[in-house]
Amino acid sequence: MSSSLFSLSKTVRQLMVLSCAVLLLSCHIDTGNDQQQAVKPDELVLWYNQSAQDQHWTDALPIGNGHLGAMVFGGVDTDHIQFNESSLWTGRPRNYAHPGAYKYLDQIRQLIFAGKQSEAEALAEAHFMGIKDHDPKAYLKLKSDWLKKVRQDTTAASEKFDDSRWQTMQLPLINGWESGGHQGLDGALWFRVDFEVPAEWTGQDLYVDLGRIRDQDYCYVNGHYVGMGAGISTKRHYLLKAQNLHVGQNVLAIQVINFFDKGGFTGVKNDRPIFVVYPTNATPKEGRPLSRTWKYWVQNDAPPAYPQYEASYQPFGDIYIKNLSEADPKNPISHYRRSLDLREATVQVSYQKGAIKYNRTYFASAADPVMVFKLKASQPGKISFQARFATLHKAHQYFKIDSQTIGMKLQVKDGALRGYSALRINANGTRASVLVTDSTLEVSHADSVVLYTVAATNFVNAKDVTGKPDSLCKAYLAKIALIGNDSRNPGNPSSHSEWGDYDLLYKRHEAAYHQLFDSFDLHLGPENSNNNASSGTDQAASLPTDQRIKAFSVKSDPGLITLYTQYARYLMISATPPGGRAANLQGIWNDLLTPPWGSKYTTNINLEMNYWPAEKLNLSACTTPLFKLIEVIAKTGSLTAKEQYGAPGWVLHHNTDIWGATAPIDAAKHGIWLGGAAWLCHHLYEHYLFTRDSVFLRDTAYPIMKRAAAFYQHILVKDPKTGYLVSAPSNSPEHGGLVAGPTMDHQLICDLFSNCIHAAKVLGGDSAFNSELKEEYKKIAPNQIGQYGQLQEWMQDIDDTSDTHRHVSHLWGVYPGNDISWDKDSAMMRAARQSLIYRGDGGTGWSVAWKLNLWARFKDGNHALKLLKELLRPAEGAAGRERGGVYHNLMDAHPPFQIDGNFGGAAGLAEMLVQSQNGYIDLLPALPDSLAEGWVKGIKARGGYELRLFWQHHQLQKVQISGVINGSCELRYGKLQRQIQVSAGKWYTLDGALQPIQPADDFKDNTK
C-alpha cells in the first residue's frame, strides 16, 4: 500500500474510530466555567454568494486528507471538482548527482577566493550542476530535427489559407496559454488574425507590436516572411514592408514554437501598448489595435522531451457534475451559498429553485482514503445529473467498472507514474435510476445521491514504482463498502443497500479531523456581553469572504486574522496530516501540468516555512510527513555529497522532489547552495524541543543530524583573508551569485553543530564527535556588523542599503534560528534589525511572511501586524492584475498561489503571542496595540509546554500552563519573571502579575 495517511497503524486507526462519539460531542475546546466560551463556529467559515468560475481556480474551495486534495467550484448547472493525488509527479527513479564533480571543487573555490566570480560560475555551470533526466546534447540534435520538420510546412501563413475550422484564443495571456485552459500545448502552433490597412497608410511601412512570446516565433504578413523572435524577455516588434501590404483586410500569421512549459503570447507587465499596428513615422498610441481574438491550430504537439533537473507535481483529474433538471425561467436560482467550515472540514453548496432547496456536502475523509460528495433536495425525486471524469493527461482512458462505478486510467507524459481513479454512485429514492456508460454516471429522480472518489498511483517509494493503483483503488472501495455493513454479506459488499454508510463515514472523518484541529483555539478582539464574538466581527463575518477581505481592517474585523490563522491549520491538516506526504509549494493542490516552479519542494525557504506553524499551533503530528521526506533525501543526499564534494554525510541544495533529488539545479549562481540539510535538521531538533520526545531524538533526528554535521565538517575551508572556516562554493539564496562564506550558511551550520552537541548530551555519548564539533564551531566565521550598521550578508562588507531583494537569508539567525537575539547580543540584534529596515516591507507571499516573523522576534508587534495586513490584502489589483495578498479563497498570492505564505503568516501570529527560543517562555512579546484583547488556547512552547493566555486592555490577565514532563519552567511577561515547578500533565494558573491563583491539584482540566 502507498505511504499515505491510510497506512497508519491499525491500533491508531482503531483508537480514532473508538473516540468518534466522544469527539463529536466536543467540537470545541471546553476549558471549564472560569474561561471564555469558544469562538462561534460561524467565525470559522469561508462563504460566498456565487460559485467559482473555472478560469479562477483560486476562487474554489480546498478539501484534502493528505492522500487526495480537491478544489470545489460549486457551480449550479455544472459543478467542477478538480482533484490531485499526492504521489502523482513527472519523472522517474534516477540518480541526480553529477559523477566526479568533486574534481572541480578546489578549482571553483580558488576562482572564488581570487575574486573571479564569473569564471567560477561558468566552471560550475559546466561541471558541477546536477544531471538532467534527458541528455542535453542529445536533445539539441532532436530539437533541431523536429524544428526543421515543423518549419517545412508554412502553408498556414498564406493569405488565402482556409482557417474557418480553426479554434479561437483570447490573447495575450499573461501567464501563458496554460492560464487560459490550453494545457499541454507544447509544440508548434499557428495563429492568424485579420487587420485593416486604411487608405491613408498606402505605401507606408508599418510596425506591429506583439509583446512577449514564449519561446520562439516566426511572423508572416499575407504569406510573406517578416522575421522571427526568441526568448521570454524579448518584446516582439516587427517591420511590415509596404510592398507586402494592401489597403483593406490583411492577414498576420504567427508560427509559435513552444518546447516546454507555458507558451504563447504573454503580453507585457507594464502599460506599453501591444497588439497594435502603426506607421513607422508614428507611435503605438497612434496605431490601430489588433483584435485580441486570434484563430489557432495545433500543427505538432510532440516536440522531443525537454531535459529537466527535477520533477513536477501533477494534477490528477476533474469531476464534472452536470445538472439534468429542466430549466425553468419561472423559478430562477436563489439563495445561493458556497462555504467551507474549518471546524467541520466540509464544503457546503446550497441554493433554492422555486420551492425546492438543494444542498451538497463535500469532504475528503480524514479517516478513510476517499472523497465524498452528497447531493440532496428538499423534495423527493428532484436529483438528476450526469457525472463524468476528465483529465489533462493526454494518455488516458475512461471505462465502466460495474453498474455503479466508472474508472479512469492515466499515464504521466514522459514519466514512470500512472494513475487509476474510480467514481462510485449510491442513489437513494423510490424513483431513482442509475445509468452507467464507459464515461458517465447518470442518475434520475433520486431523493439524494452520494458519490465516492478514490485514486492511487504506482508510486511505492523514491526507488520503486511497482505499485498497482487499480488494486489499491479496489481495496479502498471494498473497505468503504464495509463501513456500517461489516456483519452483512462481506463477500459481496456491492449488494448492500447501505453501501458505504454515509453518516458513519462522515462521523469517522469528523472524529479524525477534530483530533487534530480542536487542539488549538484563538479569539482576537473584545468579547460582547454574551461571551460571544464582538459585534464588529459578527458584522464582518456576515459579509461574503471575498467582500470581507476587501473591507478588512484590524479595528473593525480582528476576526479575519483568527480565520486566516485557523485556515492555515486547516490547510496543514488537509495537505500534510500524519501518514500523508510533505506539503509542496502548493500543499496538495495543483491544476497545472507545468505548475509554477514545478510545485515541488524548494528548500532555501519554502518547504521549511510550510512547517513553521506546526509545532507552535499544536499540530506537531503534521510534521511526520516532513521527517519522512528528510529520511529519503538524507539517503539520496549521501550520493550527492560523495560525487560532488568527495564528502561523508549528506547534502541538499535548494530544491527536491518526490524522487529525493539533492543535487544543484537551475543555475550555478543560485543553485549551488549548501544549507538545505542544516535547515531541515533544525526542524528535527525543534520537534524534540517542542515535544520532548527522546525516542524520536534518538532513533530519527540525531542520526540524520550527525551525518549532516559530518558533511559540513568536511567541506568547511579556511578563508585565506580572515583565517575563518567558511562554506564554499555557496550563495546567499538567489542573491549575489556564487561566493565563499555567505552569512546564512554559517548561521545554519553553527545551529546544526550546537543542536548536535545538545542532543548528544541529552542522549548520552558521542563525546569525541562533540569535541570535534565544539572546536570547529569556534573557527566558523561569525556574524559581522558592516559599515552601515547592518548585519553583513556576506564575508565582505558589500551590502547595498537600497537593495530590497525578497530574500532576507542573512537574518536566519534571528528567525527561524536563534543565533542572534536581544538576550545574547543586543548590538548584533540591532544590526539585524537595521538590515531589515534597509530591505523594506515590500514583497509578496513568503517574503512578507518571513519579515513578519522577524519583526515579531524584534518585539515590534505593530510592525509585525503591518506585514500581516499586507498578507491579507486582496490579491486582485488594478485592472485585474494579480499582486501579493490573498485570493478570494484566502490562499496566499505570491503570485501565483504558494501555500508557504499562509503558513508563514500563521506562524508570525504565534510569534507575536508566545516565544520560547531563549530558554524561557516569553508571554505576549510582540502584541500589537490594535490587538489589545483576546485569548489563545493550545499554543505550544519549547520544553513540551502548552499554554492558554487571556489578555485585556493590552495587559495579560491570566496564563495557564501544562507540560509533558516534570521540570522547572521560567515564565516572563515584560519585566516580570516567575520560575515554577511543573508536574507532567497538570495545569497551573497564574494571573497577569505571574502570581499563582490556583493550586495545581485543584485545577480541573476539561479539555481532554
* Residue the block writes with cell 553543530: 753
Looking up residue 1007, the CATH number of its domain turns out to be 2.60.40.1180
Distance CA 588, CA 599 (A): 9
User: Quick count: other Cβ atoms within 10 Å of Cβ 934?
Assistant: 22
429 assigned to some structural domain = yes
Same structural domain, 382 and 485: yes
266 with 242: CB under 8 angstroms? no
Question: CA-based angle 368:370:375, to the nearest 5?
Answer: 120
- For residue 771, being part of any structural domain is answered with no
Residues 6 or more apart from 480 whose CB is under 8 A from it? 368, 370, 452, 454, 500, 505
Domain boundary among 486, 509, 524: 524
CA nearest 332: which of 78, 76, 80? Answer: 76
Could you report the per-residue pLDDT of 842-867, keeping only the tens digit for each? 999 999 999 999 999 999 999 999 99
Verify that 375 and 320 share a domain, yes or no: yes
User: How far lies 673's CA from each of 79, 603, 676, 732, 962, in Å?
Assistant: 45, 10, 8, 8, 41
Complete DSSP assignment for 43-102? GGEEEESSPPPTT-GGGSEEEE-SSEEEEE---SSEEEEEEEETT-BSS-S---S-TTGG
Query: Exposed, middle or buried by CB within 10 Å (0-12, 13-18, 19+), for 977?
Result: exposed
C-alpha distances in Å from residue 152, one per residue of 148, 155, 158: 6, 9, 14
Instruction: Report d(CA 572, CA 587) in Å as an integer.
Output: 8
- On whether both 290 and 329 belong to a single domain, the answer is no
Cα 366 from Cα 573, distance rounded (Å)? 9
User: For residue 251, what are the domain limits?
Assistant: 145-300
Give the residue ranges of the chain where pLDDT is below 70.
1-41, 326-327, 485-498, 528-537, 878-881, 998-1008
For residues 292 and 326, state if they share a domain: no
Question: Are 256 and 322 contained in the same domain?
Answer: no
What's the longest Cα–Cα distance across the chain?
98
Burial 885-920 (b: 16+ CB within 10 A, else e): bbbbbbbbbbbbbbbbbbbbbbbbbbbbbbbbbeeb
Per DSSP, the three-state class of 757 is helix
Query: Are the beta carbons of 249 and 291 closer than 8 angstroms?
Result: no
In a domain, 323, yes or no: yes
Residue 835 lies in a domain: no
By DSSP bridging, strand 264-267 and strand 405-411 are unpaired
Task: State residue 486's pLDDT score.
Answer: 53
Q: Cα–Cα distance between 416 and 311 in angstroms, integer?
A: 11
Residue 80, CA distances (Å) to 46, 321, 441, 806 in order: 18, 7, 15, 36
Q: Are residues 372 and 267 part of one domain?
A: no
Q: 156, exposed or middle or buried, with CB in 10 Å at 0-12, 13-18, 19+?
A: buried
* DSSP state letter for 700: I
d(C-alpha 744, C-alpha 781), whole Å: 11
Site of grid cell 482557417? 163
373 and 438 within one domain: yes
Contact indicator for 563, 872 with CB cutoff of 8 Å: no
Instruction: Identify whether residues 44 and 170 lie together within a single domain.
Output: no
Whole-prediction pTM value? Answer: 0.92
Phi then psi for residue 850, to 5 deg, are -65, -45
Cell 467559482 locates to 52
What pLDDT shows up at residue 878? 56
CA 875 to chain centre: 16
Nearest CA-CA partner of 258 in 303, 193, 223: 303
User: In this structure, are 331 and 444 located in the same domain?
Assistant: yes
Question: Peptide bond preceding 733: is omega within 30 degrees of 0, i.e. cis?
Answer: no
Question: Which residue bears the cell 483529474?
Answer: 317
Percent helix, strand, coil in the chain, to 5, is 30, 30, 40
For the four alpha carbons of 623, 624, 625 and 628, in that order, the dihedral sign comes to positive
Strand partners, 411: 395, 418
Residues 264 and 346 in one domain: no
Contact 314, 88 (CB under 8 A): yes
Domain with 507 in it: what CATH number? Answer: 2.70.98.50
Helices (H) and strands (E) in the chain — how many of each? 23, 45
How far from chain centre, in Å, is Cα 497? 40
Distance CA 275, CA 247 (A): 19
Residue 360 in domain: yes
C-alpha cell of residue 179: 492560464
Domain termination site, one of 524, 544, 573: 524
| 262 domain residue, yes or no | yes
Same domain for 457 and 351?
yes
Q: Is residue 652 part of a domain?
A: no
Check: CB of residue 385 under 8 Å from CB of residue 21.
no
Specify whether 337 is located in the same domain as 486. Answer: yes
Q: CA dist 644 to 99, 104, 127, 479, 638, Å? A: 7, 9, 10, 47, 10
Cβ atoms 526, 933 nearer than 8 A: yes
Domain ends where: 244, 270, 300?
300
Tell me the CATH number at 261. 2.60.120.260
- 792 lies in a domain? no
* 857 close to 830: Cβ distance less than 8 angstroms: no
How far, in Å, CA of 466 to CA of 487, rounded? 34
Going by C-alpha positions, the residue among 301, 293, 309, 237 that lies closest to residue 263 is 301
Calpha distance 187→259 (Å, rounded):
6
Q: Which residues contact 826 (CB under 8 A, 6 or more apart)?
A: none
Q: What percent of the chain has pLDDT over 90?
A: 86
As for how many domains the chain has, the answer is 3
Cis-peptide into 766, omega within 30 deg: no
Q: Are 687 and 698 contacting, i.e. CB atoms less than 8 angstroms apart?
A: no
Q: Name the one residue in this structure whose C-alpha cell is 500533565.
A: 985
